[in-house]
Structure 1
Amino acid sequence: MTYSFHLLGKPEVRRGTAVVEVGHARRLSVLAVLLVDVNQVVGIDKLLTRVWDGPPPRQAKAALYSYLSRLRTALDGTPIVRRSGGYVLEADPQTVDLHRFRALLGQGHPDEALALVRGEPFEGLHGEWFTSLRDTLAGEVAAAELDHVDARLAAGEHESLLPELTARTTGRPLDERLAGQLMRALAGAGRRSDALAHYARLRHRLADGLGLDPGPALRDLAASLDRPQWNPRFFPAPPKEIIGRERELAALDLDGPIVTITGPAATGKTGLALHWAHEHAADYPDGLLFADLSGRDPAAVVRELITALGTAPDGIPPEPHAQTALYRTLLADRRMLIVLDNAADTAQVVPLLPGTPRCRVVVTSRARLPGLVTAHGARPIVL
C-alpha cells in the first residue's frame, strides 16, 4: 500500500487511511523539506538551515542523521537516499498534496486543487523558510479561489455566490478582480444597480486611499453594466414553409433552457429551428440571437454575440475568459432566444451557453451532442 503525504494543513503521512506516526515537529520539518523538493537532492546545509531556522547548533548535524534514520524506518518502502552533498526522497509527486495542488491548477481544475487544502499549510512547523512558503501558498490558494469563482460565474451560479463574494470583498475591499466578480454576480442575480453602486464605492476608495483609478477590465465591466440595454433581432429570415414537422414543433414547445435538433445533412434542422424561433419571437422580449458555428472558434462567436448585444469593440476585454464572462453578464437578466447552428460538438457549444435558465438555446448539429444532454440537461430532438 502506498503512502500519501499531506502538507496543506497539519503535516501528515498516511498509508491508505491509516495515519503513520512520524515523530515530533523537527522530524516532521525534515520530512516536509524533502517533500517540497521531492525527487531532488536537498543539500545538508540547506536541510540544516531550513529545519533549524538559521545557523544550526553544534549538534544539529548528528541530530539530522538521527531524524533521517527514523524517517526511513517510519516510511518503510519510501526511499530517502543519500546522494552527493545531500538527501533525496523518491516518491511520485502526485502522492504529495502540495505538488498535486499545483498540477491541478496548471491543468485548470481549481475546484479539485482547493479540495486538497485542509488548513494552514505546514501548520505547527516554524521558521522563516516555512513562513515564506506559507505566504507563497496563501497567494496561490487565493488565486485558485478566484479562478474557481470565475468558473462558477460562467456556469450561472450568480445568486449562490453572493454571500461568499460579499464576505470576501469586505475583507479585501481594494481587490479589483474580486470586485469584478461580485459585480458580475450581482448583475447575474438581476441587481445591476447594486453592481454599479459597488463599483462607485471601490472607485472612491481607490481615489481617496491610493490616488488611483480602477483598471481597464473593471472599467469595461462597469461600462457594459451601465450601458442602456437594447433588444437585438440578430436573426435570418424564416423558411418559406415547414411540412410534416408537427411532432418536432410540439417538442420544441416544451419547457427546457437547452434543446438540440440533430440529424443528417439536409434534414431541415436549421429550417425547423428558424421556423419555431420566428413563431415564438414574442416569448423572448429581450431579443433573438443567431450564430452559424460551422468550423468557427467559439471565442470568435462570443465576440460576435457581445457586439450584437450592444457592446462597442473597445468595450470587449481581450482575454477569452473575460469575454465569456461579459457575454453571460449581458444575458444574465434577459429573456432571449439563441440559436446556435451547425455545431460540431459539445465543446464548441459550452462557451456560448448563457448560464441562466431565462434564456432559451436551440442547437442544431449533425452529431448527437450527448455531452449537452448529460452535463447540461439539453432535451434532444432527432430528425
Structure 2
Amino acid sequence: MTQTVTKAPFRADHVGSLLRPDRLHEARSEFQNGTISANRLREVENEEIKRVVDKQIEAGLQAVTDGEFRRTWFHLDFMEHLNGFEGYVPEHGYAFQGQESEKYNVRNSGDISFNPDHPFLGDVKDLIDIVDGRSSVKFAIPSPNMFFNDGIRNPDIYPDLEKYAEDIIQTYQDAVQAFYDAGLRYLQLDDVYIAGLAADSVPWNEDSGDARDFLIDLAVRVLNESLAKKPDDLTVTVHLCRGNYRSTWAFEGSYDRIAPKLFAKGKVDGFFLEYDDERSGGFNPLKYIPEDGPRVVLGVVTSKTGALEDNKDVVDRIKTASEYVQLNQLCLSPQCGFASTHHGNELSEEQQWAKLKFIVDVAKEVWG
C-alpha cells in the first residue's frame, strides 16, 4: 500500500467540467431571450451546482468543482473578462476532427491586466460557500499560454512578443493571488496550446523545429513566471489537452517533444495528462518527471464515450506508467472534462457519474 494522498492532486481526481443538465440549458436560453433575469439564472445555476457538488462527494471524490456550469467555453469566458481582451465572432470556429466548433473567440483589444472585478472570483466564492468545508474545492482557468494561440495578440498594440509575454505573466500573477484571496487552494490551468506544440499534424524539420523549440521554451517560461509568486499552500496543476468538443478532438501526438522541457522544468504540483487512446503516445515521456516532483494524473479513462473501461486494463496501464514514474507520484482521472463547452460530450449523465465512481474505486484498489 502506498502513502495516502491528503493534498491535491488526489489519487482519484477529475479535470473539472460536467455535462450541463437540460434545466440549465433552458434557463440560459430563457435569459438570452429576456424571459428571466440574471438573478433568476444565477439561482438556477446555484441549485444545479449544489446538486453536482453533492454527487461528486457521493462518488467519493476528494476535490469537487462547479462543473463549469456558469461558462459557455472552458477558456473564453475567463479570457474575455481580462482587461485588454474582447470576445468576437470570427469567420470560422475551431477545427475538430470531422467538424467545426461554434464560432467564437477572443482577441487583444488594449493594454493587458487582470480585472479585479473578474466574475470568476465571485464564482469561486459561491462554490466555496456551497461546498461548505465538505471537500476540497477545485477551480480551473485557461493557462496563460492560451493567449499565444494564433490570432489573439494584436501586433499593433503589442508589436513586441516579449512585452506581450511580460504583461500576460503579470496578469496571471495578479489573478493567482486574487483567487487565493478569494479562498481558493486548488487551481488548475488548462493548456491546449503547449500540447499542440508537439502535435503530429505539424511537421518537424530543421527550420520549424527551431521555431517550435523557441515557442516551447517561451511557454514553459510563461507558465513558471506566472506562478513565481504563488502562495506556498496553493496547489496548482496543469491539464494538457488535445481538444475536446462534442466528443471530438483537435489534434494528436505524444508528449515527446515537450516533455524534456515542460515535465522536467515545469514548476507545478501536478500534470493531468491525456492517455485514453493511441493519439496520446506511450508513457516514455514520463521519465522526465523529477523523482518526488509533480504528481502525474493519468487520464486513462475517457470522457468522450460512455462505455466503462475494463478494470484490469486500467490497473495494468497504471502499472506500466509506474515503470517511468514511481507509483506514489501517480494518480487517476478522466482524460479531459465531460463538457469543455456548454454542448457537452456524447454520453449520458448516468455514464458520467459511473466513470467518476469507477475512478474512485480503481484508485482505492491500486493505492489503498
TM-score (norm 2): 0.26
Bigger fraction of residues in helix: 1
TM-score (norm 1): 0.25
Structure number with greater Rg is 1
- The structure, 1 or 2, with the larger RCO (C-alpha pairs under 8 Å, 6+ apart) is 2
